Structure formats: structure tokens, C-alpha cells
Amino acid sequence: MIKILLARLRQGYRTTAYPDLPAPPMSDRFRGQVRIDAARCPGNCRCCQEACPMGAIRLPEPSCAGTSGGAQVDLGRCLFCADCAKACPHGAIRHHNDYRLAARKREDLVVSDEAPRLAQPLDKPLLRLLGRSLRLRQVSAGGCNACEADTNVLGTVGWDIGRFGIQFVASPRHADGLLITGPVSENMKLALEKTYQAVPSPKIVIAVGACAISGGPYAGHPEVHNGVGSVVPVDLFIPGCPPHPLTILDGLLRLLGKVAESTLD
């Protein structure tokens, strides 16, 4: 017992101090927020669009007067493979190691050369109700377990989301909302609908990962429903494949009004 106590003392304080202090630096290999340099993007070479396996790149349609504007990237479909950045001969698209990705509206996940709009807090009545105590039921609606694993990490000593009053519960009847992963397979559609109905109102829904937002690599398959939004309303979108635990934590804290920034610089 003495050895255990001494080992714990040597370990020190392991929980990240975010958001009271800046987040720990991300690895240079981490692929986060996408930045587009419109000055470098001619908008008509289509190399990035052809390289994207998910069809997440949008380019302006050509007209008789030529093209205007640059590329747009739909982070809700993006797998963060960086094939678009590698294919771009102009260096107009780059994946930065910025973990801040969550958004309240689906359209806010479509980024261009403008500063992306990050998630804003819940409306004041819901914020008063859920801001200090948020209970979530996690639902894997056909996921591969990657997003689920990174969500589970938030309960470890390194992240400890319980200190923010956020907890995962076993029953939807004890929950304030759902945190959903996976593309919503046909076999999970009814289960998801019943789980959503079992959560007392008012309630929130959080879609985590590309599959939950748009269907991910399974989009368009007859056995999936292309994400959570086709079955239940969504209040927070957290993109990634899978999203980093810090990305998920940042999104949850923004939803609860514990992080003030609403846009990226």
C-alpha cells in the first residue's frame, strides 16, 4: 500500500488544465482544422476535388466569365486523410493541428478562406438547466468503435469530464441528451428512435464523428441513414474520423458556455 501511495505522489497531477489554461500542444502530425488560402486557389484545377475520397471538396461552377472564389471543405464529410492537401499543386489547402472543430449548425462545418464558425452555447433556458450538470447516454449507431473509444477516454484521469458536471449514464431515462456515433445503420434506426424518445424533454443530441454527421465512408449505402440528422435533430456536430478527445471535450465545453471563443482567428 505504501508503494502505491508513493507511486501516486510521484505521478503528480495528471488531469489537463484545459480550459483554465491553454490546451497541451498537439503533435505536428495531428490533422485538425482545415485552412484554405483563397489567394492561392484558382478554383478551376479540380485536383483537390478529384483526390478527395469522400466528395468533401466543393468548387465554384465554371461560367462564361470564368470562375470566382476558392475551394470549400465540408468537415462533416472529411476523413482528414489530407489527400486534398497533397494533391493541390498550389498549396492552397492545409490541415493545421488545431483541434477546435465543433459547430452547432451543419452548414458551419463547410469551411472556406473565412474563419470557421465554432460552436456557440445552448440557449439560456437550456444552459441554466444543463450548464452545471449534463448527463449523456452514448449510443453507437453502427460505429467502428474508434469514436466510441475516444469518447470513453474522456472519463480517464487525463481528461476527467466529471469535473465539469458531465457524466455518461446507463439509461436514457436518466439522461439529458444523447451522444451518438456511427452512420445509423438500418438495424440501429429503430433503437435510436426509441432511445431518443426515452430521454425526458428538454433534451439535446450530439453527433460525434464523420459517420454520425454525414454517413462517413458508408454514405449512400442502402443499409445506412447517412448520419444522425436524418433520424433525430442534432444540437452539436463534432467532426473527425475519429475526433481527438480534446476536440470532443472542446465541443462539449463550448456547448455549455465554458469556452468563450465563437470563431477562429
State in words which class domain 124-255 has. Answer: alpha beta
Distances (CA, A) of 94 to 48, 85, 115, 250: 11, 6, 14, 21
pLDDT digit string, tens, across residues 30-71: 999 998 988 888 767 889 989 999 999 988 765 444 444 578
Does the pTM surpass 0.95? The reply is no
The full set of domain ranges for the chain reads 124-255
Q: Which tens digits make up the pLDDT trace of 164-180?
A: 999 999 999 999 999 99
Please calculate the CA angle 87-88-93 and round it to the nearest 5 degrees: 115
Q: What is the identity of the amino acid at 161?
A: I
> Of 80, 103, 79, nearest to 207 (Cα)?
103
- Residue with the three cell numbers 456557440: 120
